[in-house]
């Protein structure tokens, strides 16, 4: 089997708090007293009835079609851990071989828009959320602008971009926002010293200062909002907190959300040996608090959710499209041989043919046991919620 299926059920979470229990439902955070949860970890019936009446158990219903498009599969950086690498650089440099090269063009944009409009009609969704993806999407700025322009005609309510930020000049950012781009995610591989050792260009050169400078200059001339993804592994763990001083007085915290993300080990020369241990959890908590105290927003813990695109075979509420118009179940498998599930010309292949190719986010990451990771996340999320509650931020 090429990939594995994950649990595809959205559900509330019940996690311990210093003050009792946190119940995390659909856009709800409820602090329960210790005696409102039975010894076996089940919410008391009267409390459950109250939570249900306040919508905590209501199903999460997609409000917009989620479209992810790779505008190019090429990238101007040579990150060793990238899931689109097919091997390590045989010369020992920063040019690892990658998935096949594709570049979005105007005819394919038109086909993607027609395919998407048809899928939206089938799903009875009138609004569209677009993600520009790659490779590095800004290696094909014309493709990005064409796609944004056409997507506005079928109900685009918002558009985001996952970019390394190296090519994002103020002029290009102004053109993208005028076409409908509303937010962007850039990634930092820890603080400057570690980032410039890990996230390098093809010549092995540093990128930290270029990314910070581009985000700062672009913020001044657009209304873009940012997600600052900070990758975490044993390669950069010890110096993560230094990043706040390195961003200080350069980035606008009010326009930024910070997300600390465990680096997925995809198996090509970048093993992440960090363990889900208590001291690691304390560091994660400290970084979240430092972000809040510096004025940034963080991702609030929530109920257990699944991706609306890849969690259900057939992708009723979303699609992932490579630059050549080939369909995939997930952004992580896009462009990889033997993971195709259809084309924008012909639609999805019969599920009987593609069930083994229908994978979900994180399908190839190597990690510790599910229980270890789940317990780590519950403990961390409970502590974050306790801090938000006691500091008046919840």
User: Strand 65-70 and strand 128-133: pairing?
Assistant: parallel
Three-state DSSP class for residue 333: coil
Are 45 and 36 spatial neighbours (Cβ–Cβ below 8 Å)? no
- What does the pLDDT read at residue 6? 31
Three-state DSSP class for residue 72: strand
- What does the pLDDT read at residue 267? 65
User: From the DSSP assignment, how many helices (H) and strands (E) are in the chain?
Assistant: 10, 14
- Taking alpha carbons only, the member of 254, 172, 259 closest to residue 217 is 172
Q: What is the pTM of this model?
A: 0.94
Instruction: Kindly report whether the peptide bond that precedes residue 135 is cis, defined as omega within 30 degrees of 0.
Output: yes
- Taking alpha carbons only, the member of 304, 391, 393, 385 closest to residue 19 is 385
What parts of the chain have a pLDDT lower than 70? 1-9, 267
User: Strand 156-162 and strand 183-188: pairing?
Assistant: parallel
User: Strand 65-70 and strand 342-343: pairing?
Assistant: unpaired
- Taking alpha carbons only, the member of 104, 107, 98, 101 closest to residue 130 is 104
- What does the pLDDT read at residue 342? 97
- Joined together, the tokens standing for residue 53 give 């009446």
Give the Å distances, CA to CA, from 293 to 191, 364, 387.
Answer: 18, 35, 11
| Length of the chain counted residue by residue | 394
Q: Report the Cα–Cα distance between both ends of the chain, in Å, rounded.
A: 44
- Joined together, the tokens standing for residue 288 give 């979240």
């Amino acid at each position: 089997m090429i990939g594995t299926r994950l649990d595809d059920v959205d559900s509330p979470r019940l996690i311990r708090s210093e003050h009792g229990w946190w119940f995390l439902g659909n856009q709800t955070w409820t602090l329960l007293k210790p005696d409102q949860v039975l010894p076996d970890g089940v919410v008391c019936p009267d409390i459950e009835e109250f939570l249900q009446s306040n919508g905590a158990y209501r199903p999460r219903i997609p409000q917009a079609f989620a479209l992810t498009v790779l505008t190019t599969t090429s990238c101007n950086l040579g990150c060793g851990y990238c899931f689109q690498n097919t091997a390590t650089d045989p010369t020992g440099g920063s040019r690892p071989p990658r998935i096949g090269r594709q570049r979005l063009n105007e005819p394919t944009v038109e086909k993607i828009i027609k395919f998407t409009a048809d899928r939206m009609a089938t799903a009875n969704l009138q609004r569209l959320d677009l993600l520009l993806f790659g490779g590095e999407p800004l290696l094909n700025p014309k493709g990005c602008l064409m796609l944004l322009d056409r997507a506005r005609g079928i109900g685009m309510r918002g558009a985001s971009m996952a970019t390394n930020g190296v090519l994002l000049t103020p002029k290009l950012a102004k053109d993208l926002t005028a076409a409908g781009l509303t937010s962007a995610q850039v990634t930092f591989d820890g603080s400057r010293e570690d980032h410039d050792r890990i996230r390098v260009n093809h010549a092995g050169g540093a990128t930290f200062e270029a990314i910070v400078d581009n985000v700062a200059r672009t913020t001044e001339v657009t209304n873009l909002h940012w997600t600052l993804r900070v990758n975490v592994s044993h390669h950069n763990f010890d110096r993560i907190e230094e990043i706040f001083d390195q961003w200080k007085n350069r980035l606008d915290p009010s326009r930024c959300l910070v997300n600390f993300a465990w680096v997925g080990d995809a198996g090509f020369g970048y093993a992440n040996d960090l363990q889900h241990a208590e001291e690691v959890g304390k560091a994660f908590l400290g970084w979240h608090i430092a972000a809040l105290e510096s004025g940034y927003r963080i991702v609030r813990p929530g109920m257990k959710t699944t991706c609306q695109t890849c969690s259900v075979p057939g992708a009723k509420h979303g699609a992932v499209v490579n630059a050549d118009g080939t369909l995939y179940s997930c952004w992580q498998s896009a462009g990889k041989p033997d993971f195709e599930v259809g084309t924008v010309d012909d639609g999805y292949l019969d599920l009987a043919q593609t069930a083994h190719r229908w994978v979900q986010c994180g399908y190839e990451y190597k990690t510790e046991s599910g229980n270890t990771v789940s317990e780590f996340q519950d403990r961390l999320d409970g502590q974050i919620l306790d801090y938000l509650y006691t500091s008046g931020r919840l």
